[in-house]
Amino acid sequence: MTVSVRYPVTANVSRTCIEHLLKASKQVVPEDKTQACEPTMAAAEFLEQRPGVFYFLGSRKEPPVEGEATRPHHKSNFDIHESFLEVGAAIWVQLILDKVG
């Protein structure tokens, strides 16, 4: 029996999608609050099927107590910084306004 496992890399190759996201996010998020991230395999299957862009929206709170480790995503004690949900929604609204305007 042969088992083949394939995990494609997430590659933002659609220049158009990247440019749309950068334009919208620059209108919502101050440039000094943005940063590049390490390569990931998240959403790779989707980007193989359709043009798109994958990005992270930071939402983790800093450690609540000095010396306590941060609480990573996908863990039961993850503590989301809910105000960042507004930022994500604002970027999507700006993408739509840019497209129709």
pLDDT (tens digit per residue) in 45-94: 888 888 988 888 877 776 666 666 677 777 787 777 888 889 999 999 99
| Cα radius of gyration (the chain) | 17
For residue 16, what pLDDT is reported?
Answer: 94
For residue 67, what pLDDT is reported?
Answer: 67
For residue 83, what pLDDT is reported?
Answer: 84
Domain boundaries, the chain: 15-54+82-100
pTM of the model: 0.73
pLDDT (tens digit per residue) in 15-38: 999 999 999 999 999 888 887 777
| Residue 78 contacts residue 60 (beta carbons within 8 Å) | yes
- The number of beta carbons lying within 10 Å of the beta carbon of residue 25 is 20
Phi, psi angle pair for 60, to nearest 5°: -85, 135
